[in-house]
Structure 1
């Protein structure tokens, strides 16, 4: 185990309390490190003398490094490959949007340029979704809250991040305590993100969904549903066996009742598997008691890792029309970004030599979404 990240908030608070140092210095240290990423601890002004010795002994400014940055030809997508202290790699993706494009209620949209960051919460994933390359890795390890926050800090040097989506590698709710701690850091000084601008995506880890609103009120919840019935869901998402659809929907009903917020439903379109008209009608029936936005995701082929095919545009639009027209459910179709750098949904596959075992490390970000 290496020296800890200064962004591992709980560890830093614990060490400061043991040393009798006020925790109000912690965001001051974070702010300085963000502005001066190559700084030495002694360069941070106005800390108690005991803090400098503690920082030298226990913490690093960063435990991860940016291995590479790849810009898409679309001009709006950037992929960061980040090397962790243990030698593993994760990816983070910056997606830039201009909110002034298009119309809203017949009028020009307010706002301007903004960036959404998609970050990882684990190395690998236990969920094993068959349309996602991360499932082929198996699970390696959880990220610490500091490693999660460092992705935001690295990305913030390239773009001003307004939204964060936990849709990178891993199942965020399987790394629950680190997720909660990282989000709380993002909400406080110096990051000051709004909970409305943070989205957590899950395949439906029921026991964690039951705690989420109490621990992180105001957050956006996205659910990777991907099928309207349990048997299809189990075929493409083996982990769904542990989360029966009926129980998952009950948990989401309670979550929505408590939070009074829309839930984002992610639905990947797989030709001949879950994209027929009957599936649209089943999905509409399943969601009729909810306030949701359904996001239809055109499947991106990922080399020889998948047996699936992309749904035709006609099928996607027909599916959308049924949900909108028959069920009055707001339904969007995912805009693909960064396909040329394997930055689109389900495409983020990286193959790197692992010096420890000479095998390839595959990392994949299953899902990208822009909130609001």
Structure 2
């Protein structure tokens, strides 16, 4: 007991072995080569919840360091909930501090997509939607996560551990940072996590990783230098600043004119397409004039617009919104394609029955795991390329 306070001493949290920066720093301080890091990660990946002292072929000084300061996994899967059609699994992940986050596995058949008008080669594979924060401070009025408020940032290891958990259930090929939180508000941890999963032993392609942001301009300006070849998606959701601020209060700090200027600079530097996320809200941002406004502001850019059907998220301010009728969505898409020659897709509805669809991630589900018939869909990422 602490003599001064009479309370038991606070136990410091251990770090995830997948926290690359922390592990690298400890090894360097101890004079241990960092070339052993991928070997440790491979052993942890192949032997879930193993004792780190069982990792073979490490210098002797590495073992007490790993034992005292790191764990193979600092999080656990509290529940895994499957959609009725079996295409989507939502993972409720418990962090070591007792908080919960959610990650979503989405299963696709790449052969159902099109490339240059022809069926794509390939087969079955999965995309993982990961969280970067507990809650979110952006407060978008159509999003359930925003109702939680901001709780904390995830460490890079806690982000990577979502992939480790998911790999036990599915072969993950793509990762999208579209779960709980604003990724660019946790910039350093997200960058470090991406570097881990694109290196050994995970070896995911940077071109199959997409990071979505509401438009944190200063972070977008750094994005390309830190994460070359990683895809950038921008949650625009309105073609003008006034409408955008009504549904996305945080947009006041990122004026649409300045945001579009930064995207032009980004694209001139890298030449990559930018993905524009646009949620369809009945009577708010889905009329013909909105389509023309959107087409005009995006004309200077090479983009793919992803129209997202609104998903119900219960009470609160989001209950004021309704989903745009499907015919109106198609008309909106037709204007962008036909008048402005902007490639435009409509996001497939996946996981809505388990609150795992876009905008629905909020910690509120019990443990259950019903499996239904699987009807695989084409992935939006296959349609975009």
Question: Which range, TM-score by smaller chain?
Answer: over 0.9
**Equivalent residue for 1:46?**
57
**Is 2:348 the counterpart of 1:338?**
no
Q: In the comparison of the two structures, how many residue pairs are matched?
A: 357
Q: Is the 8 A contact 1:269 1:297 kept in 2?
A: yes
Which residue of the other structure, out of 295, 298, 314, is the alignment partner of 2:327? Answer: 314
- The correspondence of residues 1-372 of structure 1 with structure 2, limited to 5 A, is 1-101=12-112, 103-305=114-316, 306=318, 307-351=320-364, 370-372=380-382
Distance 1:94 1:276, change over 3 A: same
Name stretches of at least 5 consecutive residues in structure 1 with no aligned partner: 354-368
| CA spacing shift, 1:36–1:244, aligned 2, 3 Å | same
Tell me the CA shift for residue 106 of structure 1.
4.6
Equivalent in the alignment of 2:5: none
Q: Distance in 2 between matches of 1:103 and 1:171?
A: 31
Distance (Å, rounded) in 2 between the aligned partners of 1:44 and 1:105: 47
Q: 1:31 to 1:345 in 2, by over 3 A?
A: same
Q: Does the 8 Å contact 2:337/2:343 carry over to 1?
A: yes
Distance 1:104 1:181, change over 3 A: closer
| TM-score normalised by length of structure 2 | 0.91
Greater displacement, 280-289 / 109-118: 109-118
- CA distance 1:102–1:202, change in 2 (3 Å): closer
* 1:164 to partner: Cα distance: 0.3
CA contact (8 A) 1:199 1:371 kept: no
* Whole-angstrom distance in 2 between the partners of 1:221 and 1:241: 21
Query: How high is the TM-score relative to the length of structure 1?
Result: 0.94
Shift of 1:48: 1.0
Against the structure 1 CA distance between its residues 164 and 370, is the aligned structure 2 distance closer, same or farther, given a 3 Å change threshold?
A: farther
Question: Structure 1 residues 101, 274: closer, same or farther in 2, change over 3 A?
Answer: same
Cα shift at 1:371: 2.5
Deviations 1:310-369 (A, max 9, x none): 10111101100000000000000010111111111122333279xxxxxxxxxxxxxxx8
Contact kept? 1:116, 1:370, Cα under 8 Å: no
Counterpart secondary structure, 2:250: helix
Alignment deviations for residues 197-226 of structure 1 (CA, whole Å, 9 cap, x no partner)? 000000000000000001111110000000
CA distance in 1, matches of 2:147, 2:126: 30
User: Hey, what's the Cα distance between the residues in 1 that align with 2:365 and 2:337?
Assistant: 43
Decide whether the 8 Å contact of 2:179 with 2:361 is kept in 1: no
Give the structure, 1 or 2, with the largest relative contact order (CA under 8 Å, sep 6 or more): 2
CA RMSD between the two structures: 1.3
C-alpha distance after superposition, 1:6-63 (max 9, x if no partner):
0000110010011111111111010001110121122211111111111011101111
Q: CA deviation at 1:108?
A: 2.9
Query: 2-side partners of 1:217 and 1:105: how far apart?
Result: 25
Task: Tell me the distance in 1 between the aligned counterparts of 2:280 and 2:365.
Answer: 29
User: Does the C-alpha gap of structure 1 residues 218 and 60 become closer, same or farther in structure 2, counting only changes over 3 Å?
Assistant: same
- Unaligned stretches of 5+ in structure 2? 1-11, 367-378
- Taking a change above 3 Å as real, the CA distance of residues 291 and 103 of structure 1, as seen in their structure-2 partners, is closer
